Amino acid sequence: MPASISHPTWASSSPDICCTSTAASSWCRPAIIRERFSVKGYWLIVGTEISDQEAQAEYGRLWKPIGEKYQARTNTTKKPPLLVEARDAKRMVLVEFPSLEIAKACYADPAYQEAMRFALKASNRTLVMFEGDLG
């Protein structure tokens, strides 16, 4: 960059953003913002039709504070998934966690183990944990 053109430096109190240069005449490159670009942990839950609505409602009630504790973000499908290579799936839920370690800790939490009893009573399901960056 020509010395006659200045570029403002980044100023932030966030520990996630830093500037590699403080010279006004050089480009200031922010460090990668960890939260946005970090590898996340996921649960993919594929389930059959709900056979016990009361148990499912209780699972939902118990899940809410657990999900908040572990910073989980739940995404559900509005329509049944398109079955290509599966035996039976009526519902699909993707739960995002800040990391795979947090996803595992949530699953191992005694409060979740108690809630899971209701989920398993409500329907048959498969839960898969994985790590990735789904954007």
Q: What is the structure's pLDDT at 85?
A: 81
> Domains of the chain, with CATH numbers?
1-37 (no CATH), 38-132 (3.30.70.100)
Q: What is the structure's pLDDT at 114?
A: 98
Q: Is 54 helix (H, G, I), strand (E, B) or coil?
A: helix
How far, in Å, CA of 93 to CA of 39, rounded? 19
Do residues 75 and 91 touch, judged by C-beta distance below 8 A?
Answer: no
Determine which helix (DSSP H) or strand (DSSP E) holds 85, and give its type and residue range: none
For each of the chain's 135 residues, which pLDDT tens digit applies?
Answer: 444 444 333 343 434 433 444 444 444 444 444 445 579 999 999 988 899 999 999 999 999 999 999 999 999 887 878 878 867 788 899 999 999 999 999 999 999 999 999 999 999 999 999 999 887
**Backbone Cα Rg of the chain:** 22
How far, in Å, CA of 24 to CA of 73, rounded? 40
